Structure 1
């Protein structure tokens, strides 16, 4: 095999390109010839070496190991009180020295497979960039999580029922792999198009280049790799403070400390349970939780999110709460729990017949309707509006482009430098690969739901309807994600639809949600990985094979880990019966279980119709459809004002969407950091931003992950939790922020108003 070398490296940046009469001029010729997106031009290399080996022995060994390790750790930590999510950035860093070590010690002699003429080399040369990318794609599959594990957990640990292991495994595999079909259908639009640039991928691209490219250290400066190591070590060393020694600095709410006995002041000032005015944190994990790294989010998207956040939290919610809309003062101002009419937590046992898992109408009539905190109620309404606005926005702003791209896709007219390099050097994945896999997964999904005694309660038509919803929304949500790094979800709309059509079936509700929501999410994930491979010039067939194998490996390990814990840890997910100090409380699965009661048993008919309290939330569908129209009209009236087109109504409406399960302090910190780096630094110090911004994000993430693992396995696993003092609480010390303010309502230790 010919050894790769620099003489094979090619670049098409100067390749002639025919100028069309669509506004392309000599001034912007170079930008379009490279990439029309400035962040991509500043980050992604336009060179390729097609002779580099990709699917090597090292790729398979390190890739499968990284995938299985992350899958095991994420599922293991997922059941614990302090859940820890490990990203592929950690594996991306760790496998580099391992790959170089294997390249140094493995024999180079070819290995022949007995009985065949096929042979391969254990060591085809130096560990290279493309092997590293494919190993990271493996790790991505292990880091994303498997949503179907929530279903298996609530069946076994909350409903205390049995589920056939083959049915559970098929549910796991099909929900994870159905998205391949949608990815194959839409990859021409969402991968080949240079305008679909997937901002989050630029973090990994920048880190890959820092780790592999030789770079001369600037005078009195650092190379990108040196800068990354400095950030990594600093983040690693510092995170012991918020993670172990002083957890209270993850949310500092000074207003609460000043007015210790005022419910209103703590509602206003609490960063954990209130509006968060004046709250902040000294912790990168607080910044990057729930919304992802602000350094990987484009500046215009940060502005849109900020506008939505401030309008909802500081205009809509205060007005609604202090005018007592929906009797809001009976409940906390921000909470994800459900309540009865007297302000107490809702006793779901009174409305559910647990023997047949059917809704208990008599118990419901004798007890209470479901009530929500004012923010939780509007969160559902805003999620309705977001979904409607996503369809409207994409149709108005991108409809013509999608139609043109549809024609261009069939005629292979996408022509930026990265697409030209991929078409010149590599064969595309045949479409029938995607379609065949999709048909197989649809058949297995119906078997999982209809077979095995109908344990999952969902009939075949429910599977097909969920698949149709996912297929319809993949393109518009893919456009939003590929351009803004924000991904509206389908979890609420899927719960709503099946809750109306097929009420009283909690497992059918969550199965439908998973097929409708997660198959779309998986399609977006696959497309994002395809775009990463597109930027890094990975052969598409190698990408497809790695994604396929890694999804099977990750699904199997997630399932095996969950099944092992659910069958071996006594009273798992049951805090009332667990030993004192046991970490197996399953907080995420508890929320999922309650959602199955609300949407599957009680149902949306008794919440969002005249039978419930929140029927007016349905108007948000209309608000969402109409919201992008004024912006579109203004953009047509004033085409010279480019900033108008940057107003993204789906992102504005969903701006505060992650406050539950997050909090306002997460947003305050995220917005502050994002505005500073991706607006101020990007404009004033663009050369520094181009070299260091994404590497800074990767270093901060990796340092936090490594220290969290170290703390857990050396200290916390042995119940060594540090010196007991005021700052050890993972709380902002605002105990009154969750209290009701309506007269006569008595809840816990809260004061009673008269």
Structure 2
């Protein structure tokens, strides 16, 4: 599950309780097993060094997967319901293609007799090729965070940012993580103690896909099931994607009370609390939180409880008690407002140098947030401290022993022994990448300081933060599957040190936060290669090439869309049913205004209206302590330990841009598959669950692009009541007396 806008995690639980292994053959010698039980039950302890890896098939399918996923993920990033096409889709989809190439390509050797001799078809399509293709696909999965900088500057601030400058920021922030990964890989990859729980899902899926499989009587093979789901998903998405947009958010309460502001605030799935709302659309379900089919039930239950508390208890109380003049603004919105309830015109407070004009700000008035937007920052503060305290209390001893094991004994693991047969990646390669990337980053920020605003010391300071936090957060991620984010901390620090410069703030955040996140991604991929016995140099090559290709494709796609889609992201001009509302970039832009342009001191500090929100830091630290004390008082109650306060508190961390309908639909789907079907139809779940998720992703992605190319580019749209996306126009209205907003009733 994805959490806290960029990060997420879970508790340490038995892997077999959530993702049972399939067809494993235990080894006879217990000394040759991993000391981590979950790894021992899932990862094979054999290897075939003669298996070809850098094959023609791997290059073709790997690069194709990387390009396709990069394009699709950036294409859907700007949409109201952004879809993240995961590497699992490619992992499953390339298998029949690889086998088809193995069956049809010529086996003749090219450049025979020379050191360049190779064959386009060295034999059957093997699991190591498949892993490397998936590593390529991983590079294109998710998002390139630095694209947010490009969108914020070009679309929202409408300022100059050259394509070359944008490329420098994108490539340096993506590649910088290799440096930190190289420094810490000996501590976070080789030791058995650093086991990276989420990789076991991939290992289990690889083994399932490559086991010999007979079609069950009256059933389908996994590949046949995948193609069937893909076809159905592809055909179905024409309804929510074009013909019947309303099923994206069926806010039936609004239909019953078409003139009631209160009812629409309660019932709107897009602009309200979403009571009773549901979305019959896979993009609605999986847009922000990822596929619920891949999340364990205990995590979904924690998210559900956290969502209910924040959405149906804290937010309504804060709104109806009129905290921070809440009734002057919508109950749920990511926009910024003036004290009169109108949208804040940021251009009024920016001077010609793209800095804060303090005199203009004092004249124009302070910036205001909607009730939920203010609460979500408080939740972010609380989630940060809750994660730290939770990990220390519940996993402190484990992490300490695991960490000491990582530093003192790094050679006992059978997988490390097998991997030492291969040539390792020299430390010098990582050092050169690190030094070169930092130098290029400093050059970019200094030479183009008029566009990026961040001085050389800001780059070094951001790198220092990433260097300091990569190891401890890496240990947490590698042992507990949790990764506390640095986004709020980096924004907070540079916002106090260097206020009034929005681009400097977001550049600092990306260099400090994303370079660490990228390092963890690379380390996790290295561990996957470690488990699957991929030669380290081949793994390194796939990661570097995939990262460079994905950076180029992401930026090229974003730039093309910004140039070709009229008024992209401008919700004041776009029609109500337009899919190009850019909710993620809107939140990123708002954050740059709050933390960078105006600065945290004038928002959450002693000069700000929301100073009391800072108490959430303390509340987040206390919450896990209370759970821990109850757990100690009632140690026999095992369910208490499943209360994960970082997940529970940070449940709504993706809101906004995520809305209520995304959460209600995700929770309901997760309950059906991760609880009901997992408990009562476990055989079906084990065989089809992940394949179903991948097929739904892939079919939706292909139809989404087809609709845009065939209809979107020509501005061909339907005009009927089913195109009304939410049907709750009054949900965004203020309810304070005397506040007049166009399209809303006035209260007196």
* Shorter-chain TM band: 0.7 to 0.9
Query: Would the aligned equivalents of 1:62 and 1:95 in 2 still touch at CA under 8 Å?
Result: yes
Query: Would the aligned equivalents of 1:608 and 1:614 in 2 still touch at CA under 8 Å?
Result: yes
1:452 Cα offset (Å):
3.9
Look up the SS of the partner of 1:278 in the other structure. Answer: coil
Who is 1:726 aligned against? 721
Matched, 1:102 2:88: no
Query: Would the aligned equivalents of 1:167 and 1:452 in 2 still touch at CA under 8 Å?
Result: yes
1:327 Cα offset (Å):
1.0
Matched, 1:68 2:67: yes
Matched, 1:17 2:11: no
**Relative to 1, partners in 2 of residues 1:195 and 1:680: Cα closer, same or farther, differing over 3 Å?**
farther
Who is 1:213 aligned against? 211
Query: Would the aligned equivalents of 2:27 and 2:45 in 1 still touch at CA under 8 Å?
Result: no
Q: Distance in 2 between matches of 1:34 and 1:683?
A: 29
**Relative to 1, partners in 2 of residues 1:748 and 1:699: Cα closer, same or farther, differing over 3 Å?**
same
Structure 1 range deviating more: 408-417 or 243-252: 408-417
Look up the SS of the partner of 2:118 in the other structure. Answer: strand
Who is 2:330 aligned against? 332
Query: Would the aligned equivalents of 1:54 and 1:134 in 2 still touch at CA under 8 Å?
Result: yes
Matched, 1:381 2:378: yes
1:473 Cα offset (Å):
4.1
**Relative to 1, partners in 2 of residues 1:569 and 1:223: Cα closer, same or farther, differing over 3 Å?**
closer
**Relative to 1, partners in 2 of residues 1:318 and 1:199: Cα closer, same or farther, differing over 3 Å?**
farther
Q: Distance in 1 between matches of 2:686 and 2:143?
A: 31
Query: Would the aligned equivalents of 2:411 and 2:417 in 1 still touch at CA under 8 Å?
Result: no
Q: Distance in 2 between matches of 1:213 and 1:221?
A: 17
Q: Distance in 2 between matches of 1:63 and 1:34?
A: 33
1:664 Cα offset (Å):
0.9
Who is 1:541 aligned against? 537
Who is 2:15 aligned against? none
Structure 1 range deviating more: 215-224 or 322-331: 215-224
Who is 1:25 aligned against? none
Out of 133, 136, 139, the position equivalent to 1:138 is 136
1:679 Cα offset (Å):
2.6
TM alignment of 1:639-654, pairs within 5 A? 639-654=635-650
Who is 1:671 aligned against? 667
**Relative to 1, partners in 2 of residues 1:365 and 1:634: Cα closer, same or farther, differing over 3 Å?**
same
1:434 Cα offset (Å):
3.5
TM-score (norm 1): 0.87
Structure 1 range deviating more: 617-626 or 713-722: 713-722
1:666 Cα offset (Å):
1.0
1:391 Cα offset (Å):
2.1
Who is 1:24 aligned against? none
Q: Distance in 1 between matches of 2:665 and 2:267?
A: 15
Who is 1:743 aligned against? 737
Q: Distance in 2 between matches of 1:292 and 1:580?
A: 26
**Relative to 1, partners in 2 of residues 1:279 and 1:202: Cα closer, same or farther, differing over 3 Å?**
farther
Who is 2:37 aligned against? 36
**Relative to 1, partners in 2 of residues 1:197 and 1:464: Cα closer, same or farther, differing over 3 Å?**
same
Out of 154, 167, 170, the position equivalent to 1:169 is 167
Out of 315, 318, 321, the position equivalent to 2:319 is 321
Q: Distance in 1 between matches of 2:628 and 2:373?
A: 30
Structure 1 range deviating more: 405-414 or 282-291: 405-414
Who is 1:53 aligned against? 52
1:44 Cα offset (Å):
5.9
Matched, 1:443 2:444: no
**Relative to 1, partners in 2 of residues 1:199 and 1:753: Cα closer, same or farther, differing over 3 Å?**
farther
1:504 Cα offset (Å):
1.1
Structure 1 range deviating more: 613-622 or 635-644: 635-644
1:99 Cα offset (Å):
2.9
Structure 1 range deviating more: 323-332 or 679-688: 679-688
State the Cα deviation string for residues 469-499 of structure 1 (Å, max 9, x = none). Answer: 3344445655665677775543333222111
Look up the SS of the partner of 1:379 in the other structure. Answer: helix
Who is 2:17 aligned against? none
Out of 699, 705, 709, the position equivalent to 1:709 is 705
Query: Would the aligned equivalents of 2:35 and 2:192 in 1 still touch at CA under 8 Å?
Result: no
Structure 1 range deviating more: 487-496 or 459-468: 487-496
Q: Distance in 2 between matches of 1:159 and 1:669?
A: 34
Q: Distance in 1 between matches of 2:25 and 2:185?
A: 22
Q: Distance in 2 between matches of 1:197 and 1:739?
A: 50
Query: Would the aligned equivalents of 1:249 and 1:283 in 2 still touch at CA under 8 Å?
Result: yes
Q: Distance in 2 between matches of 1:666 and 1:576?
A: 23
TM-score (norm 2): 0.88
Q: Distance in 2 between matches of 1:82 and 1:33?
A: 42
Matched, 1:396 2:428: no
1:736 Cα offset (Å):
1.2
Q: Distance in 2 between matches of 1:245 and 1:108?
A: 48
Who is 2:339 aligned against? 341
Look up the SS of the partner of 1:494 in the other structure. Answer: helix
**Relative to 1, partners in 2 of residues 1:268 and 1:479: Cα closer, same or farther, differing over 3 Å?**
farther
State the Cα deviation string for residues 303-323 of structure 1 (Å, max 9, x = none). Answer: 221221111111111111111
1:637 Cα offset (Å):
4.6
Structure 1 range deviating more: 197-206 or 366-375: 197-206
Aligned pairs, how many? Answer: 726
**Relative to 1, partners in 2 of residues 1:426 and 1:636: Cα closer, same or farther, differing over 3 Å?**
farther
Structure 2 unaligned blocks of 5 or more: 1-22
1:182 Cα offset (Å):
3.2
**Relative to 1, partners in 2 of residues 1:641 and 1:226: Cα closer, same or farther, differing over 3 Å?**
same
Look up the SS of the partner of 1:358 in the other structure. Answer: coil
Q: Distance in 1 between matches of 2:285 and 2:302?
A: 17
State the Cα deviation string for residues 205-253 of structure 1 (Å, max 9, x = none). Answer: 5554454332123344333333333332332232222222211111111
Q: Distance in 1 between matches of 2:644 and 2:606?
A: 33
**Relative to 1, partners in 2 of residues 1:145 and 1:113: Cα closer, same or farther, differing over 3 Å?**
farther
Q: Distance in 1 between matches of 2:715 and 2:687?
A: 42
State the Cα deviation string for residues 582-606 of structure 1 (Å, max 9, x = none). Answer: 9877665454344333322211111
1:500 Cα offset (Å):
0.9
Q: Distance in 2 between matches of 1:113 and 1:571?
A: 56
1:570 Cα offset (Å):
8.5
**Relative to 1, partners in 2 of residues 1:191 and 1:682: Cα closer, same or farther, differing over 3 Å?**
farther
1:509 Cα offset (Å):
0.8
Q: Distance in 1 between matches of 2:715 and 2:197?
A: 40
TM alignment of 1:214-363, pairs within 5 A? 214-353=212-351, 355-363=352-360
Q: Distance in 1 between matches of 2:446 and 2:271?
A: 42
Look up the SS of the partner of 1:737 in the other structure. Answer: helix
Structure 1 range deviating more: 477-486 or 46-55: 477-486
**Relative to 1, partners in 2 of residues 1:744 and 1:96: Cα closer, same or farther, differing over 3 Å?**
same
Query: Would the aligned equivalents of 2:264 and 2:272 in 1 still touch at CA under 8 Å?
Result: yes
Query: Would the aligned equivalents of 2:193 and 2:402 in 1 still touch at CA under 8 Å?
Result: no
Who is 1:28 aligned against? none
Out of 622, 625, 633, the position equivalent to 2:618 is 622
Structure 1 unaligned blocks of 5 or more: 1-9, 20-31
Q: Distance in 1 between matches of 2:202 and 2:152?
A: 35
